Each structure stands twice: as C-alpha cells, then as structure tokens.
Structure 1
Amino acid sequence: MDKELEHNFVALLEEHQNIVHKVCRLYTNHREAHNDLFQEITIQLWKAYPKFRGDAKFSTWMYRVGLNTAITLYRKSKRTINTYELETFQFKIKAEDYDDTEEQQLKLLYDAVRQLNDIEKALVFLYLEDKDYREISETLGISEVNARVKMNRIKNKLKTILNP
C-alpha cells in the first residue's frame, strides 16, 4: 500500500479514535481486553480501508466495522472460559468530597446495556452518540422504521432492567 493511503488512514483513525474506544468500552470490562479489542478493530479497519469508497461518512463506516468486529469477537469469547484480572479485586479509595453519583449511574447503564443482545447494544451505542435514525439505520443495515421500533423496545427493556 502506498504512503499516502497509510497517511490518510492514520489521520482519520487519530481524528475518530474515540469511536473505537467507545465500542471497546461497550464490549469489554477490563483494560487489557479493551486494548486487545482496540487493536483488532484497528487491524480490521486497516484491512478494509482500501475498499472504503466514501459512500458514507468515514465515522459511519468506522462504527460499522468496529461494531461488527466487536460483535464477532464477543460471540467467539462466549465460548471461552472467563477469567478475572487481579485489578478487579483491588480496593479503590475515593476522596470524601468526591460525588460519584454520575459515575455510578453511568456504570449501571453500561451494566444494563451489557445484558442486551449484540444488535441492541449497537443500536443503544449509536443512539447515545446522538446519531439520528437515518445514520443508525445506515450503520446497522436496517430500515429507519425498524431502528425506531427497536429503540423503543430497547428503552422499555432497559427500564425493566434498571427498575425491576
């Protein structure tokens, strides 16, 4: 591959890398797994980049590749034995004046979202990224109406999970 293609890819990846981090955060629980998934998504993006035609925005295409990679790896990982990192069991001491309400609410939301199926997770992720239903439908390859219906069902499902 030529240097210009590589330069353009690196520039676009640097500009939009938060998308990949957010996908990783949604599908992983530990830093090591996050880093591994980030690397795998980056590899898949690089492999697919020469075929990127620009029909959609780069960020939309990046969401699609990232989510598909994460879903594929997530499904494979369900067939393996779960292990826990030692850092999970370390004590975390917070300053007394620190209000972690928002952090706790965000953690509860992520925990609830992790209980959803793969497509539902992707839809919630894009919704929380303030993507409109047209862009969500393009990214996930479903109709706009289907995206709206699914999102309403997911909202109800999350309410049930969060408020049993």
Structure 2
Amino acid sequence: MLKSLEDKFLDDFESNQNIVHKICRIYTTNQSDHNDLFQEITIQVWKNYAKFRGDAKFSTWLYRVALNTAISLFRKSSKKIKTQDISDIAFKIKAVEYDDTQEVQLKSLYVAIQNLNDIDKALVFLYLEDKSYREISETLGISEVNARVKMNRAKDKLKKILNP
C-alpha cells in the first residue's frame, strides 16, 4: 500500500526533527522564539516537500531548508520571527523533550554560538552534527575550501568568546 505524501512527510520529519530543534536553539534565545521558528521551518519544509527529489538524503535536504529559513527570517525581520497560521494543516508532530543534563552542558556553547553571525552559526551547527566539509559545502552552497576557511575562523571566534 502506498503511503500518502503527508504520511511520508510525517515519517521523514518526525525522525529528523532534532535537526530543526538544534537549528532553532542556535538562532533563538527563548522558548517562544524557538517554537515560532520551529513552526515556520515546519511550514517551509512541508510546502517544499513535494519538490524533494531524493537526490540527497532527507536529512541533508532538511538541513538546507531549515538553515535557509532561519537565516532568511532573521535577515528580513531584525530578529523578530513572523509566523504563519497552520490551522488548515491537519497533522500533528510529536515534540522532542530535552533532558536537564543536556541543557546544562550545552548552555555555554549555545550562548557562545549566539554571538556568531548567521553563516558562522550554520557552519558550527553542521560541524557539530559531524557533517563532512563536502556535506557542509553542499548544504550551504559554498565551496569545500571556503567551508574549511570559514569554519576555522568560526572556531577562532568561539575560542575567543569562551576563553576571553
């Protein structure tokens, strides 16, 4: 039996939603903005899901859509996220809860990452996700050499922030 597009979307998205939550944590500073950005990314992923050809893994495609959405929203709106009403979309996505220990361990890193520019945030995020420089370059649409150079500069900036 063939799955509907919505069922495929739900399966793919639910199994990869941690990616979106991590991006939201990097680009927002409070839970309300996190929820708004998560919602906006979900909408953009759903709107573009029919165009997903499967040339790359779903997770790679999701990284690109989610990062582009986050970066575009922040560039357009001076850090104020605008959301769309999704009441006409009839599906529910199960939320992932974070463990308190993880929150404490990651807090200082996320605070430091907040001080980076949008592209550096994306680079660090993908690097922390153990993506290769080839995957990072494909996701962000830059050359592999450029990804390496930018990543080294971002690491230096983080070192200065974490160890003033």
The alignment's TM-score, normalised by the length of structure 2, stands at 0.80
Q: Which residue of 2 aligns with 1:93?
A: none
In structure 2, give the amino acid aligned to 1:48: N
Structure 1 moving runs of 4+ over 6 Å: none
The answer as to whether partners of 2:67 and 2:122 remain within 8 angstroms in 1 is: yes
Tell me the CA shift for residue 16 of structure 1: 0.5
In structure 2, give the amino acid aligned to 1:147: A
Q: Does 1:108 align with 2:108?
A: yes
TM-superposition CA deviations, 1:112-158 (whole Å, max 9, x none): 11111111000000000111111111110111111111111111111
Q: Does 1:9 align with 2:5?
A: no
Q: Which residue of 2 aligns with 1:83?
A: none
The structure carrying a bigger helix percent of its residues is: 1
Q: Which residue of 2 aligns with 1:30?
A: 30
Tell me the CA shift for residue 103 of structure 1: 5.2
SS at match of 1:64: helix
In structure 2, give the amino acid aligned to 1:150: K
Q: RMSD between aligned alpha carbons?
A: 2.1
Structure 1: state its 5+ residue gaps: 81-99
- Count of equivalent residues: 144
Q: Which residue of 1 aligns with 2:135?
A: 135
106-115 or 131-140, larger mean C-alpha shift: 106-115
Question: Highest CA radius of gyration, 1 or 2?
Answer: 1
TM-superposition CA deviations, 1:35-93 (whole Å, max 9, x none): 1111110100011111111111110110010011111122234265xxxxxxxxxxxxx
1:79-90 pair list within 5 angstroms: none
In structure 1, give the amino acid aligned to 2:122: A
Q: Percent identity?
A: 73
The alignment's TM-score, normalised by the length of structure 1, stands at 0.80
1:104 and 1:35 mapped to 2: Cα distance? 20
In structure 2, give the amino acid aligned to 1:121: K
Tell me the CA shift for residue 11 of structure 1: 0.8
SS at match of 1:51: coil
